[in-house]
Amino acid sequence: MPVQFKLEHVIDSLAMSEETVARRRTLRQLTGIHLPVEEAQHAWERIMDHKWYLGERLKRDVGLRVAAVDYFENIAPAQHIRRHRSGGNLPARLPMMQSLSR
d(CA 48, CA 10): 27
pLDDT score recorded for residue 41:
86
pLDDT at 35 over 90: no
Residue 57 domain-assigned?
Answer: yes
How many whole angstroms from its chain centre is CA 48? Answer: 9
Q: Mean of the pLDDT values across residues 70-86?
A: 68
Which domain range does residue 32 map to? 7-96
Please state the domain count of the chain. 1
Terminal C-alpha separation, the chain: 63
pLDDT at 90 over 50: no
pTM for the predicted model, two decimal places: 0.64
pLDDT at 95 over 80: no
Residue 47 domain-assigned?
Answer: yes
Residue 85 domain-assigned?
Answer: yes
Residue 102 domain-assigned?
Answer: no
Residue 75 domain-assigned?
Answer: yes
Residue 26 domain-assigned?
Answer: yes
